[in-house]
Chains A and B, each alone.
Chain A
Amino acid sequence: MKRPTILALAAVVLLLVGIMVGRSGVIDPAEAQTSSATARAAEGARLRKQIQNDPLAPTVARKGADVTLVMFSDYQCPYCRKMHPVLEQLVREDPKVTLVYRDWPIFGPGSVEAAKVATAAKYQGKHAAFNDAMMHTPGKVTSQTIRAAATKAGVDWARLQADLKTHAGDIDGLIDRNGRYAAMMGLTGTPALLVGPYLVPGAMELAGLRKAVALARSNPNALPK
């Protein structure tokens, strides 16, 4: 079953790549079109910067980092949970990556609630601990499992409830924003990882992630012309 899946996915994505190769392969003599391509590239860079830098999105920021990873995930997405230890390991072994978490809850109410609590935990400096506890929670995400993960992470629940209320607008805004960025990038599902300028939909193993990071490091501003 594994092989057909990979091939089927590759077919979908290669189609997209094909479109882009087609676009970038055209050597374009027309001044107007060149400038529109430049504008497009500038717009793309601007958008990428926005996706990589967010006032609220939980971020593991590193000094002197040269590659930013942006993880789009859902706490109930099986492959997002599978990716969690991979991301942890990468951050451990590579001090020059910054990791941004963008919760994109598409699996229903339990996912939305978990995403909100994860963001709210940031106000008490507990996002990493809660995220880790949640990613290690087996089974379906419910109010009970969220509460249990919060306890395990040492989250002050009363404070969290207060933060959920006080910052409701900001938290909802972040989740909306994450969904909008996902749609703009043409993402259809979770997980997805933006590695520097490269978008990698679907779960990855550590070796693949290392390669993607190396690629992003050598082409930090890769853009289609």
Chain B
Amino acid sequence: MIFRLLFALFVAGAALAPAAAQAPAAHIATDLSARVSDPRPGMRTRIGITMTSQPGWHAYWRNPGDSGLPPAVTWTLPEGVKIGALEYPAPTLLTLGGLASYVHEGRFTLLADLSVDDTVRPGTRLPIRGALTWLACSDSLCVPERANIAVDLVAGRGRSAGMDAALLRKAEAALPRPATGTASVTRTGDRWEFLIDTAIALGRDTARLYPVGDGWFGADAAQRVRMSGSHLLPSVPASGSAPADRFEGVLSDGRSSITVKASLRTVAVFSPATGLRALSHSYDRRELLRDLRFRSDAGEIDAPLNGNGAGKLLLSRTSTCGSLAVARQRRCSP
């Protein structure tokens, strides 16, 4: 509290003192660099925006979670040069004031593809300019900041390493890697159960799933991750019905991370005593019976029933237009 009171300022003084009104140095420093200083026409290379936060300050991931804004850049590029979307390293979870955010602390690099058209002649100077805006927050204050970022390249043979090539290589290695196998998500009771096939080892005690889109689960939802063979099985309390047919996100244990693109599947359970029972909340039992009959008639049940007559049916959402129509109360033609 003593520190807080030190902040007390005379407002008139601050208003009238030009020195005090000058924008203070940014809490997050930025730097633009390229893998190569001589990108080759017709080829693609990477550039990176390295952001270095003061201790105690953070910036936001592409999905900021409960509050915040991710960095955004507006490029000014020479003819024949294109830059792709920003790629983010995996975030960490930060909960402050009851709000859970997906953030980056310390030093981190946002990467983007840079391509030079093959019509660009070698030796052409390629000044890359960008206006970068971001939100920097500490544990008590949030500040919108901006910077002009620049790097000068010359079209060439793509062989000269840029100033921070090593840093960018490290940043590339830190990007979430594509999961090696398939992934699906099903609604079981009030939880999302993910099934992610991947050969990449992640620590399940610290692994956490970060959604790219909103509406799947709360940013601070308690998650648990089980492992089974080559599968990772995160389980997360759902915050509502599925906002999309596919979940996109990142699974990170704080060191390694993978991208997750999980298709939504509907699960139903069959037993001789109760008949068909929907586990998915969005299903009415009668509708499900009708729907499953429709699917059985069509011979498209994914998983066979087991010997005692109980079993699990996995209906892929993409291949079962009929069940989709029931679940979402809308018509579609199979």
Contacts and interface: CB of A to CB of B under 8 A. Distances in A.
A9 B99 contact: no
A168 interface: no
A99 B10 CA distance: 19
A169 interface: no
A138 B9 contact: no
A125 B1 CA distance: 35
A93 B54 CA distance: 38
Interface string B135-158: 111111111100000000000000
B56 A5 contact: yes
A107 B66 contact: no
Contacts, number: 195
B21 A197 contact: no
B214 A140 contact: yes
Interface string A1-12: 110111111101
A198 B219 CA distance: 36
B5 A138 contact: no
A107 B10 contact: no
Contact of A198 (B8, B97, B136): B8
Contacts of A77: 67, 142
B298 interface: no
Nearest to A205: B1
A211 B55 contact: no
B20 interface: yes
B101 to A, nearest CB: 7
A222 interface: yes
Interface residues of A, number: 68
Interface stretch (B11-19, B113-121, B252-260): B11-19
Contacts of A128: none
Nearest to A70: B11
Contacts of B3: 6-7, 9-10
B140 A79 contact: yes
A13 interface: yes
A184 interface: yes
B15 A47 contact: yes
Nearest to B14: A186
Most buried by B among A19, A24, A207: A19
A16 B25 CA distance: 13
Nearest to A81: B97
Contact of B11 (A13, A48, A81): A48
Interface in A154-192: 183-186, 188-191
B254 to A, nearest CB: 16
A197 B16 contact: no
A202 to B, nearest CB: 4
Contact of A40 (B4, B12, B24, B65): B12
Interface in B45-76: 54-57, 64-69
Q: Lowest 7 A-B CB distances belong to which pairs?
A: A44-B12, A5-B56, A189-B143, A82-B97, A202-B140, A224-B13, A78-B99
Given A19-B20, A183-B21, A224-B10, 14 more contacts: A1-B55, A5-B57, A8-B54, A9-B141, A17-B6, A20-B20, A78-B68, A78-B96, A79-B140, A107-B69, A198-B10, A198-B11, A207-B1, A223-B10
